[in-house]
Amino acid sequence: MQTCLNGGQPDRPPVALWRHFPVDDQTADTLAAAHLHFQQSFDFDFLKVTPASGYFVYDWGVEDAWQGHPHGTRTYTKRVIHSPEDWAKLEPLNPHKGHLAAQLTALTRIIDTLGPDTPVIHTIFNPLSIAKKLVGDDNLFTHLRQYPDEFHRGLETITESSKGFVDAVINQVGASGIFYAVQHAQTNMLTQSEYLEFGRSYDLPILQAAANGWLNVLHLHGLNVYFDMFVDYPIQVINWHDLETKPSLSEALKKFPGVVCGGMRQEETVNLGTVDQVRAEAVAAIEATGGKRFILGTGCVAPTTTPYGNLMAARKAVDEVRSK
């Protein structure tokens, strides 16, 4: 990993896949156990801790339920922002209380069990993504565009809460970094100027709080992403759906000075494809990047239905490259 991040030629490309663990993600004990079993099964080059997608908003009163979605996505059954005035009612969260404290407990157990040779990073959703969980998908854009002052007030509280949690994750618990998920930097959601105002201005303070992390990964979710807007972010790795939206891996290496992560389609190939198809996409990605500044992965989570054999095929693909 260190050779990869430093721009050298590793003996093989690193590889990492990740997934949700619905039901298991509801307590610290089962969340930690599920991740440890996953990592001990596949020996990926880093472990991304993937809690329930709503973990950060439970302490504000949001409720959700898993209803069988194969990606582990949960359905929100209770929101807490109903009117623009509600944003001012949000109180900053204490990372050492409630559900956030449980996340730190699970993370500590994972790191202590795996030891210093396995980097562990924790999922952090950016403030816009957290705001969506608080207010709902449709109302998010209404509040953002029609009530910007109130919306900014909410984003400020979310950002302060996120900074405190990130500090605990890296500087207190000892994670190697964060997996910073951005969901709204897409042409069909926000304009570039809107993302600058409501996204970037809140992203950067959180990433500054993560500055002591040596493996901070930015995830750009969705299609037609504003990739070029993020190449100067203070992160080491960018992950996106590279086989479904621009840029390609090789194009991204020319734009971004760090490491790119991807190369395999999460659904069509890793979940529904054959072992040979997984191997073929892995090899193509390694060839496209020359195996430098590259981590083999998918554009997003591996579905919960992904066959064991396909996950193992991805893991073994990089070893096969080394053996040649």
Q: What confidence category does residue 100 fall into, taking pLDDT thresholds of 50, 70 and 90?
A: very high
| DSSP string over 180-222 | EEE---BTTT--HHHHIIIIIHHHHHHHHHTTT-S--EEEE-S
Architecture of the domain defined by 10-261: Alpha-Beta Barrel (3.20)
Q: What confidence category does residue 322 fall into, taking pLDDT thresholds of 50, 70 and 90?
A: confident
| The pLDDT of residue 321 is above 90 | no
DSSP 8-state assignment for residue 92: P
The Cα 252–Cα 233 span in angstroms is: 14
What confidence tens digit (pLDDT) does each residue in 130-169 have?
A: 999 999 998 999 999 999 999 999 999 999 999 999 999 9
Beta partners for 64?
Answer: 76
Average pLDDT over residues 200-225: 98
| The pLDDT of residue 280 is above 90 | yes
Smallest CA-to-CA distance from 17 within 233, 217, 176 is with 217
Domain ranges of the chain: 10-261
Q: What confidence category does residue 323 fall into, taking pLDDT thresholds of 50, 70 and 90?
A: low
The Cα 11–Cα 35 span in angstroms is: 26
pLDDT attached to residue 245:
98
The Cα 315–Cα 279 span in angstroms is: 9
The Cα 11–Cα 120 span in angstroms is: 21
Beta partners for 184?
Answer: none
The Cα 60–Cα 73 span in angstroms is: 19
156-169 burial string, b = 16+ CB within 10 Å, else e? Answer: bbbbbbbbbbbbbb
Residues 6+ apart with CB under 8 A from 148: 197, 198
Half-sphere exposure for 234 (CA within 13 Å, toward CB): 13
Element (H, E) at 75: strand 74-78
Give the dihedral sign, CA 24/28/32/33.
Answer: negative
Residues 6+ apart with CB under 8 A from 263: 242, 243, 249, 281, 282, 284, 285, 286, 288, 289, 294, 296, 297, 298
What confidence tens digit (pLDDT) does each residue in 66-88 have?
A: 999 999 999 999 999 999 999 99
Residues 6+ apart with CB under 8 A from 81: 87, 131, 134, 135, 136, 139, 143, 154
pLDDT attached to residue 324:
64
Average pLDDT, the chain: 97
Half-sphere exposure for 2 (CA within 13 Å, toward CB): 3
Q: What percentage of residues in the chain have a pLDDT greater than 70?
A: 99
